[in-house]
Amino acid sequence: MSECEKTGSCETRPSSEDCGNKSAAPCCPVEMAAEKWSASFCQAMKEVQVEILKQKIKKAWGADMEKVGDAVLETMGAQWAAMLSQAKAHVGLRESIKKVFFAK
């Protein structure tokens, strides 16, 4: 008869988070499974809620968000191009300095 069957309880420590600790008493697999299934249920519920809200937001504001997305992409693209141009100028400066120092 297992410890769970004898006592009606699997709790051997305050939390199954300590299961990686080899020096502690062994974890109860039933308690661990119950905790994991409970956490998975909560995660799945949240994911469904997010999916429902995403659909509703897209339906209500999707057209406007598409326009804003286009504006953001255009602006960020211009900023990215400017950063690349500036980086190229810095590389060019360093190459010019190297030529001066090593020309001798």
Show Cβ contacts of residue 4 under 8 Å, excluding neighbours closer than 6 positions: 10, 28, 30
What's the confidence (pLDDT) of residue 27? 82
pTM value is 0.50
What's the confidence (pLDDT) of residue 17? 55
* Per-residue pLDDT reduced to its tens digit, 38-52: 999 999 999 999 999
For the chain, the C-alpha Rg in angstroms (whole number) is 30
DSSP 19: G
CA dist., res. 82 & res. 90, Å (int): 12
* Per-residue pLDDT reduced to its tens digit, 51-104: 999 999 999 999 999 999 999 999 999 999 999 999 999 999 999 999 999 987
DSSP 28: P
* Per-residue pLDDT reduced to its tens digit, 24-40: 566 899 999 999 999 99
CA dist., res. 30 & res. 43, Å (int): 20
What's the confidence (pLDDT) of residue 35? 95
Q: Is the pLDDT of residue 14 over 90?
A: no
CA dist., res. 52 & res. 12, Å (int): 40
35 closest CA partner among 50, 13, 51:
13
